[in-house]
């Protein structure tokens, strides 16, 4: 992905304005938003278009490190500090000197380590594990979470004092479903990338495919969209990607877009989601959905079972079995 955010939507413009406001500042920024919305990209933009752009950008995923290793990764250690420490190693804060440290999934940090991080942020100093030497810290702090961190504070899972240290300037990265036509711009970008990497060329998306993408809720956000485009590129039999080539989160082709509310009509941020309707048509079983999907593919390929099966990643025998 390029070091820019693709789109023209009002939601994205609001994000741009907030990023611009703190671009040249060193204030700590907390990026909140769902998984896959592009929080790390926003953090990189803050760094590489800011005053520390020529210094290191160091990303740490707090959720990916075992609890026993997070402290050593952040603050470093001296040889012999613990079993297996056969050499000294600088921590991420040292590596990020005069640059930016990005603490991703900060809400997953254990409470005990939160206390130590708070002391480091308050004092601007730290020591490696196994050493009493004081090291001065000079790094901009950008953190990110897919949780509502203030709610974690209320639930006593995150320190209130650390929250206010990190959230000097909180920014919410909007979910893809609130970005309207940005969905199509991003899909077209991802398709161009697939054309560059792949062995065939897809010219674009049909209008029905675009409508399907605009009406889908994208729970996995931009990351999910990239995967959907990749799968569609691989299975589409023509130069145009049709709505039947779009395999969404459940790996089933998209249904009629008219049956779903459009993403452009997303509710305002503070609106409460409506409860799902329980009256009306009954929910379809997975078997019924599969039969409809296969029937739709057969119709699309004019009854050619082999091509329909291949586009779905199934064998001919499986197709026949599911239609019984």
Residue 199 CA to residue 305 CA, distance in Å, equals 25
Q: What is the pLDDT along the chain (324 residues), one digit of tens a residue?
A: 446 789 999 999 999 999 999 999 999 999 999 999 999 999 999 999 999 999 999 999 998 888 778 889 999 999 988 888 889 999 999 999 999 999 999 999 999 999 999 999 999 999 999 999 999 999 999 999 999 999 999 999 999 999 999 999 999 999 999 999 999 999 999 999 999 999 899 999 999 999 999 999 999 999 999 999 999 999 999 999 999 999 886 544 544 444 444 443 333 333 333 333 333 333 445 566 667 778 877 777 777 888 777 777 778 778 777 787
pLDDT of res. 283: 43
Inter-CA distances, 309 with 33, 74, 288, Å:
38, 50, 17
pLDDT of 285 reads 54
| Residue 191 phi, psi dihedral angles, 5° rounding | -65, -40
Query: 145 and 183 in contact (C-beta within 8 Å)?
Result: no
Count how many residues are written for the chain.
Answer: 324
Cα separation, 7 vs 186, in Å, equals 7
CA 71 to chain centroid, in Å, comes to 25
- Which residues have CB under 8 Å from 116's CB, separation 6+? 71, 75
Count other C-beta atoms under 10 Å from residue 66's C-beta. Answer: 7
CATH number of the 180-270+281-323 domain = 1.10.8.60
Topology, domain 10-174: Rossmann fold (3.40.50)
pLDDT at 175: 97
Which pairing describes strands 240-241 and 140-145: parallel, antiparallel, or unpaired? Answer: unpaired
Confidence at residue 1, expressed as pLDDT on a 0 to 100 scale? 41
pLDDT at position 264 is 39
Domain boundaries, the chain: 10-174, 180-270+281-323
Q: What is the pLDDT of residue 85?
A: 84
Report which DSSP code applies to 259: G
- Please tell me the predicted confidence (pLDDT) of residue 299: 76
Closest CA to 101 of 144, 57, 137, 39: 57
Cα gap 168→162, rounded to integer Å = 10
CA triplet 108, 112, 114: central angle to 5 degrees?
A: 55
Cα separation, 190 vs 174, in Å, equals 19
Tokens encoding 192? 């161009």
Do 91 and 85 meet the contact criterion of CB atoms below 8 Å apart? no
């Amino acid at each position: 992905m390029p070091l820019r955010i693709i789109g023209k939507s009002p939601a994205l413009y609001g994000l741009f304005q907030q990023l611009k406001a703190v671009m040249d500042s060193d204030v700590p920024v907390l990026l909140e938003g769902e998984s896959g919305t592009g929080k790390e990209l926003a953090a990189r933009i803050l760094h590489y278009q800011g005053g520390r752009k020529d210094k290191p950008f160091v990303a740490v995923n707090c959720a990916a490190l075992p609890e026993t290793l997070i402290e050593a990764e952040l603050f470093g250690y001296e040889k012999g500090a613990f079993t297996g420490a056969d050499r000294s190693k600088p921590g991420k804060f040292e590596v990020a000197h005069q640059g930016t440290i990005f603490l991703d999934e900060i809400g997953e940090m254990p409470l005990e380590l939160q206390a130590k991080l708070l002391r480091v942020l308050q004092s601007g100093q730290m020591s490696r594990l196994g050493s009493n030497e004081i090291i001065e810290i000079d790094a901009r702090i950008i953190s990110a979470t897919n949780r509502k961190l203030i709610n974690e504070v209320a639930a006593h899972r995150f320190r209130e004092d650390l929250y206010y240290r990190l959230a000097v300037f909180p920014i919410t990265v909007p979910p893809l479903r609130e970005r309207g036509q940005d969905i199509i711009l991003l899909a077209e970008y991802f398709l161009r990338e697939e054309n560059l990497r792949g062995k065939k060329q897809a010219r674009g998306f049909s209008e029905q495919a675009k409508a399907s993408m605009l009406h889908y809720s994208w729970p996995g956000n931009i990351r999910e969209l990239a995967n959907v485009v990749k799968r569609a590129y691989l299975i589409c039999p023509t130069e145009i990607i049709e709505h039947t080539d779009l395999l969404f989160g459940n790996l089933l082709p998209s249904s009629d877009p008219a049956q779903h509310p459009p993403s452009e009509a997303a509710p305002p941020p503070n609106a409460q989601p409506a409860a799902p309707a329980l009256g009306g048509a009954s929910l379809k079983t997975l078997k019924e959905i599969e039969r409809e999907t296969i029937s739709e593919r057969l119709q699309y390929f004019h009854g050619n079972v082999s091509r329909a099966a291949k586009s779905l990643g199934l064998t001919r025998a499986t197709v026949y079995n599911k239609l019984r």
